[in-house]
Amino acid sequence: MRKMTKVDRRILKTQEALKTAIIELMTEKSFDDITIQDLSDKANVSRGTIYLHYMDKYDLLDKLIELHINELRIRCQSVAELDFVTGSIVWTEYFEQNYSFFSTMLASKGAPFFRSRFQAFLFEEFQDEIDVTRGKNKGLNKDLVVQFVASSYVGIVEWWFTNERPVSHQVLAEQLGTLLERICE
């Protein structure tokens, strides 16, 4: 039996402070303009402490993005047997709960690489949902249809954040789920 190691609360607190700091700084200025000193000041930790946890600001951002993509992947697996509307509610609730992260990543010019990683993740997730052997999509190029669905999904979520959530996350989920059912069935 493998013994689970317990992570020191101070480490978790420091990492959380740094994740919060980078998001807050990205709302103020371009990611390229953020310095390690900015992160140090905002998170109230020393520069050396940052380097104990991350190689640089890119590593910090990369780990933060991976955290959210992995959480979306887990949520996707948990709703695999549900219809698109119910499954979309799980995701939009997560978007709502993590508003500052997603709004910064999608509604600002701070992290364009997040958008492409999010879209690549969605492309992977929608691969099994698209059937081009029958129905409305019969005869279409599968990669083209999956890319269309993934791009559209990212675009709608981006629109939702950019426009400061003009509809509730429940309405967003219902609309996205309905659209996905029309395209994927």
124-147, pLDDT tens digit by residue? 999 988 888 888 889 999 999 999
| Mean pLDDT, range 58-77, rounded to an integer | 92
Q: What would the two tokens of residue 4 be?
A: 């689970």
Name the band, by pLDDT with cuts 50, 70 and 90, for residue 5. low
Name the band, by pLDDT with cuts 50, 70 and 90, for residue 4. low
84-95, pLDDT tens digit by residue? 888 889 989 999
Percent of the chain with pLDDT over 70: 93
Is pLDDT above 60 for 1? no
Would the pTM count as exceeding 0.95? no
The mean predicted confidence, pLDDT, of the chain is 89
The C-alpha atoms of residue 34 and residue 18 are separated, in whole angstroms, by: 13
The C-alpha atoms of residue 154 and residue 107 are separated, in whole angstroms, by: 11
95-106, pLDDT tens digit by residue? 999 999 999 998
| Integer CA distances (angstroms), 156 to 31, 37, 94, in order | 24, 35, 15
Task: Count other Cβ atoms within 10 Å, centred on residue 50.
Answer: 22
Name the band, by pLDDT with cuts 50, 70 and 90, for residue 3. low
Q: Where are the domains of the chain?
A: 80-184
Name the band, by pLDDT with cuts 50, 70 and 90, for residue 183. confident
